[in-house]
Amino acid sequence: MTRGAPPAGPPRPGPDLLARRFLVWNFLRAVLHNGWWLVTSLYMAVDAGLSPAQLLTVPVAQGVAALLFEVPAGVLADTVGRKASLVTSHVVMAAAMILTGLSAGFLPLLLAQVLWGIAWTFATGSDVAWATDEIDRPDRIHLLIAAQGRWQMIGSGAGIVAFGALAAIVDRPAAIAAAGAAMLALGVWFAAAFPERNFTRVRADRLKAALGIARKGARAALGDRTLLMLVWVTALVNGAADSFGRIYPVRLAELGLPRDTGGTVWFTAVGLAGYATAALALAAVQRRLGSDRGTRRWLVLACLTGLAGLTLLGLAPTLALGVAAVLAANGVAMPLVRTVTTIWVNRRAHGDVRATTHSFLAQAESSGEIVCAGVLAAVTGTAGTGLTLVMAGSLFAVGAALPGRSRKRGGTRAG
């Protein structure tokens, strides 16, 4: 009697199945993240009673923590594994979300928000690096990244509706804790359903390897003129976007948006319309982002749209024009800039330092939010909301000029 071949194990998921799982995971993560944040922002201001100064301290602390952890987290992902980094992100994020729902004082809420910001550093770049390596379709990865952005927008809108309704049915702390528990469950699913076959983990002398990865990532970000340009664009645009996000509700109120419950409904509707506009914009351009020429063109157009949107909002005489300006900025310019820069960085990054290179981009984002938003915040008291928005729009103008300068000077890829 001859012994037959051992029974085959479960079939390995193909690239199409992995791509679908990746998009579903991004959608669900956006549902939980944005739904949680909607309820949390109300909870901190209304239930916990944080003062305006305390509420402004939270994003500053988050930004500093992200700035410190971004590159080390990216190096960890390129050393130990992108999957391990993403699972860690889920665990830390879930703990921070649940802690928020269980806390009422300023210090524990501040700690929870800082942990939440740190959790995102473990995911920044690791998700795109995992997808690039494991799905292994370099000719179509730009389509996947664009689809990722689109499904994140759809999930954001769904999360606002779902968790807003849940908080109304139960209460805000329970909804916040439920989002954290669901985020942990999503991390368990990621650990079980997302393989990592194309990454070689560093097993010996990890500290030396990590330092080498950090140096190589820094050389790539600073030595490649295109990557360096994208770092500057990211810092400028995100500084403008952060300022816009904090003051555009005030500007809409100045233009006539109601300040009572009806205003909250209208504000929510504008936010949902922005997510829908972003999803449509990303779907419209995704097939035009397969080359450096296409990404350069759409990055410039996105920055010019941001310039037009913020300038129009700052100078708008009517609420209708103000809402149109918000949709142009929030629904077209900002998601396009974020997606295009991610695709372009991913195309030029070396595989062994891919997550680290993306982390430098995220670090530029945090730096821009701290510096640019800080400067604009300092002048908003004297300049007024409208003029501050125009000044923020000028940062988009600089961002639109940089890709052209990079092309004229050359874009040699760093070795």
For residues 147 and 404, the model is more confident at 147
Residue 2 predicted with pLDDT over 50? no
Mean pLDDT of the chain: 85
In the structure, what pLDDT confidence band is assigned to residue 128 with cuts at 50, 70 and 90?
very high
303 in Cβ contact with 396 (< 8 Å): yes
Query: Which of 77-86, 200-209, 294-303, 359-368 is the most confident on average?
Result: 294-303
- Residue 6 has a pLDDT of 43
* Ramachandran bin of 125, using left for φ above 0, alpha for ψ from -120 to 50, beta for the remaining angles: left
Stretch 283-307: mean pLDDT: 93
* Cβ(269)–Cβ(160) below 8 Å: no
> Which residue in the block uniquely carries the two structure tokens 């639109």?
400
Please state which of the four CATH numbers 1.20.1250.20, 3.10.20.30, 1.10.760.10, 1.10.1740.10 is assigned to the domain occupying 15-194.
1.20.1250.20
Nearest to 191, CA basis, from 49, 52, 82, 348: 82
Q: Cβ distance 65 to 189 under 8 Å?
A: no
Segment among 46-50, 100-104, 148-152, 279-283 with least mean pLDDT:
46-50
Which has more pLDDT, 323 or 409? 323
Q: Residue 218: which of 61, 414, 87 has the closest Cα?
A: 414
Domain 206-415: CATH superfamily, name plus number: MFS general substrate transporter like domains (1.20.1250.20)
**Nearest CA-CA partner of 99 in 153, 157, 43, 49:** 43
| pLDDT (0 to 100) of residue 262 | 63
Which two tokens mark 21? 């799982």
- The DSSP annotation for 30-49 comes to HHHHHHHHHHHHHIIIIIS-
Give the predicted TM-score (pTM) of the model: 0.83
Q: Is 82 helix (H, G, I), strand (E, B) or coil?
A: helix
Tell me the C-alpha to C-alpha distance, in Å, between residue 105 and each of 102, 109, 277, 323. Answer: 10, 6, 37, 36
Structure tokens at 364: 């530029």
At 389, which amino acid appears? L
88, pLDDT greater than 90: yes
Residue-level pLDDT at 205: 61
How buried is 192 (Cβ within 10 angstroms: 0-12 exposed, 13-18 middle, 19+ buried)? exposed
Which candidate, 218, 229, 231, 235, places its Cα nearest to that of 367? 235
Residue 139 has a pLDDT of 87
pLDDT computed for residue 210 by the predictor: 66
| DSSP assignments along 286-301, one per residue | GGG-SSHHHHHHHHHH
CA distance 131 to 148: 11
Please, what is the Cα angle at 128 between 208 and 240, to 5 degrees?
A: 100
Query: What is the rounded distance in angstroms from the CA atom of residue 183 to the CA atom of residue 75?
Result: 24
Could you report the per-residue pLDDT of 31-46, keeping only the tens digit for each? 999 999 888 887 887 7
129 pLDDT more than 80: yes
User: Which backbone phi and psi does 101 adopt, to 5 degrees?
Assistant: -70, -20
Contact 185, 28 (CB under 8 A): no
Rg of the Cα atoms in the chain: 22
**pLDDT at 80 > cutoff 80:** yes
Say whether pLDDT at 144 is over 90: yes
- Confidence band, pLDDT 50/70/90 cuts, at residue 27: very high
Determine the distance from the C-alpha atom of residue 50 to the mean position of all C-alpha atoms in its chain, rounded to a whole number: 26
pLDDT of residue 415: 42
| Residue 360: per-residue pLDDT | 79
pLDDT confidence of residue 4: 44
Same fold flag, 15-194 and 206-415: yes
What integer pLDDT is reported at residue 414 of this predicted model? Answer: 44
The domains of the chain are located at 15-194, 206-415
Contact 300, 404 (CB under 8 A): yes
pLDDT confidence band for 208 (50 / 70 / 90): low
Contact by Cβ (8 Å): 124, 358: yes
Yes or no: say if 263 and 252 are a contact pair by the CB < 8 Å rule: no
Other C-beta atoms within 10 Å of 56: how many? 12
Separation between Cα atoms, residue 308 and residue 405, nearest integer Å: 21
**Cβ proximity of 375 and 244 under 8 Å:** no
Residue 381 has pLDDT above 90, yes or no: no
